[in-house]
Amino acid sequence: MRRVLYAGSFDPITNGHLDLIERSSKLCGQLLIGVIQNVSKNSFFTMEERSQIIIDSIPHLKNVEVITFDGLLADFVNKNNIDAVVRGLRATTDFELEIQMAQMNARLYRNAVETIFLMTAPQYSFVSSSIVKEVFALNGDVEGLIPQPALDALRRKNTVNT
Q: Which residues are catalytic?
A: 17, 41, 90, 129
CA dihedral 35, 149, 120, 1 (to 10 degrees): 50
C-alpha to C-alpha distance for 114 and 54, rounded to whole angstroms: 24
Q: What is the DSSP string of 23-82?
A: HHHTTSSEEEEEEE--TTS--SS-HHHHHHHHHHH-TT-TTEEEEEE-S-HHHHHHHTT-
